[in-house]
Chain A
Amino acid sequence: GAVVSQHPSRVICKSGTSVKIECRSLDFQATTMFWYRQFPKQSLMLMATSNEGSKATYEQGVEKDKFLINHASLTLSTLTVTSAHPEDSSFYICSARAAARETREQYFGPGTRLTVT
């Protein structure tokens, strides 16, 4: 149980275009979802936290107009990178926390490799 999927696993897009990444909790309801960015050989950097049905809370320094997050249901969150540029190339990982669990455990998706050319 507690599986999180991401789609696509890899995406290449041209500079100036937008790309959407989906994150789904497959076998549990996730009231809270998280989006992380990871640079090579570095730890995860939290970008934003989203709760179902409400606006995402962005970490300091993360542009909310560039990284649009939607958490429309208890099993789906999306991250849209708008007007992508090469510096947005990175590994994006989503994570979800189950509503019923008290252990603060988060389940991570397999990640999405974004390359902007």
Chain B
Amino acid sequence: AQSVTQLGSHVSVSEGALVLLRCNYSSSVPPYLFWYVQYPNQGLQLLLKYTSAATLVKGINGFEAEFKKSETSFHLTKPSAHMSDAAEYFCALFSGGYNKLIFGAGTRLAVHP
């Protein structure tokens, strides 16, 4: 079965510090993986996606993620957090068998001065 696990429902960092949000997946076929960001009372915005091309994927707002097949991971990073990065982040896996996205539970990122 396909699934997505986000380790850490809450992550808190200082402004300027490294951001690391963890995502592990389970899939029997090569996955399509996504990171989305959600600001309060808004929909989801695509940060980046992995589609079997380069394993290091760069997205918007300075975020990037590295696909590691051996670790079944797709962790999201940003070298220096900004206050505006505070939001909910969702990792998602496309399930071809069910033709839908499978979401992780989400990680709430807090950035403090």
A residues near B (Cβ < 8 Å) are 4, 6, 32, 34, 41-44, 46, 49, 91, 93, 95, 103-111, 113
Contact in complex: B49, A43 (CB < 8 Å): no
Chain A nearest Cβ from B38, distance in angstroms:
9
The answer to whether B99 touches A32 (Cβ under 8 A) is yes
Taken together as a complex, chains A and B put the C-alpha atoms of A108 and B42 apart, in Å, by 10
CB contacts (< 8 Å) of B45 on chain A: these are 108
Contact B103 A44 (CB under 8 A): yes
Q: Which of A42, A49, A108 contacts B44, CB < 8 Å?
A: A108
**Distance in Å from the Cβ of B66 to the closest Cβ of chain A?**
18
Set of chain A residues within 8 Å of B101, measured between Cβ atoms: 34, 46, 95, 104, 106
Instruction: Indicate which residue in A4, A46, A103, A113 contacts B41 across the interface (CB closer than 8 Å).
Output: A113
Q: How far is the CA of A13 from the CA of B2 in the complex (A)?
A: 38
Q: How many residues of B contact A (CB 8 A)?
A: 22
Bound: A96/B32 CA distance, A: 17
Q: Are A111 and B41 in contact (CB under 8 A)?
A: yes
Main secondary structure of the interface of A (DSSP, over half): strand
Interface assignment of B67: CB less than 8 Å from any CB of chain A: no
Complex: A49 Cα to B44 Cα, angstroms: 17
Query: Which residue from A43, A46, A93, A95 sits with its C-beta under 8 Å from B106?
Result: A43
A43-B104 in contact (CB<8A): yes
Q: Inside 8 A of A106's CB, which chain B residues have their CB? A: 101
Contact in complex: B43, A110 (CB < 8 Å): yes
User: Contacts A104-B94, A110-B42, A111-B41 given: A49-B100 contact, CB under 8 Å?
Assistant: yes
> Which of A46, A103, A111 touches B43 (beta carbons < 8 Å)?
A111
A92 to B97 CA separation, bound complex (whole angstroms): 25
Between-chain CB contacts (< 8 Å), 5 pairs: A41-B108, A42-B106, A44-B90, A104-B32, A109-B43
